[in-house]
A and B are shown apart, each in its own frame.
Chain A
Amino acid sequence: MSEPVDTTAAQADAAELRLVERLRARDEAAFMEIVDAWGPSMLRLARQFTPSTAVAEEVVQETWLAVLDGIDRFEGRSSLKTWVLRILVNRAKTRGTRERRTVPFASLAGQESEGDFHAVAADRFLTEEAKYPRHWGSPLPRWEAQPERALESAETLALIHDAIDDLPPAQRTVILLRDIEGWDGPQVSNALDITETNQRVLLHRARSKVRAALEADFASAA
Chain B
Amino acid sequence: MTDHTITEPLPQLPCQDLVEVVTDYLEGALGDVDHQRFEEHLAICEPCVAYVEQIRLTIAATGRAGVQGEALPADLREGIRDAFRDWAG
Chain A: residues with CB nearer than 8 A to chain B? 26, 28, 31-32, 35-36, 39-41, 43-44, 57, 60-61, 64-65, 68-69, 117-120, 122, 125, 133-136, 139-144, 151-152, 156-157, 160-161, 164, 175, 179-182, 185, 196, 200, 203-204, 207-208, 210-211, 214-215
Given B15, B24, B60, B63, which contacts A135 in the complex, CB threshold below 8 Å?
B15
B24 touches A140 (CB 8 A): no
Q: Using A41-B67, A180-B66, A207-B23 as known contacts, say yes or no to A215 and B77 having CB atoms under 8 A apart.
A: no
Enumerate chain A residues within 8 angstroms of B22, measured Cβ to Cβ. Answer: 119, 204
A136 to B23, CA, bound (A): 19
How extensive is the interface on chain B, given as a class? Answer: 35 or more
A215 to chain B: closest CB distance in Å? 7
8 Å CB contacts to A: which residues of B1-38? Answer: 14-17, 19-20, 22-24, 27, 29
Q: Using A39-B77, A40-B71 as known contacts, say yes or no to A210 and B23 having CB atoms under 8 A apart.
A: no
> Number of residue pairs across A and B with beta carbons under 8 Å?
145
Enumerate chain A residues within 8 angstroms of B51, measured Cβ to Cβ. Answer: 120, 140
A117 to B16, CA, bound (A): 12
Is B88 interfacial (CB-CB < 8 Å)? yes
A117 to B83, CA, bound (A): 46
Q: Using A136-B15, A139-B46, A141-B50 as known contacts, say yes or no to A64 and B66 having CB atoms under 8 A apart.
A: no
Given B58, B63, B84, B87, which contacts A180 in the complex, CB threshold below 8 Å?
B63
A40 touches B72 (CB 8 A): yes
A43 touches B65 (CB 8 A): no
A28 touches B72 (CB 8 A): no
A68 touches B87 (CB 8 A): yes
Given A57, A125, A152, which contacts B73 in the complex, CB threshold below 8 Å?
A57
B84 to chain A: closest CB distance in Å? 5
* Interface bits B51-68 vs A (CB < 8 Å: 1, else 0): 101110111111111110
A113 to chain B: closest CB distance in Å? 12
Enumerate chain B residues within 8 angstroms of A179, measured Cβ to Cβ. Answer: 59, 62-63
Known contacts A28-B84, A69-B87, then 11 further A-B pairs from the complex at CB < 8 Å, ordered by chain A residue: A39-B76, A125-B16, A134-B17, A135-B15, A135-B16, A140-B46, A143-B57, A179-B62, A180-B66, A210-B62, A211-B55
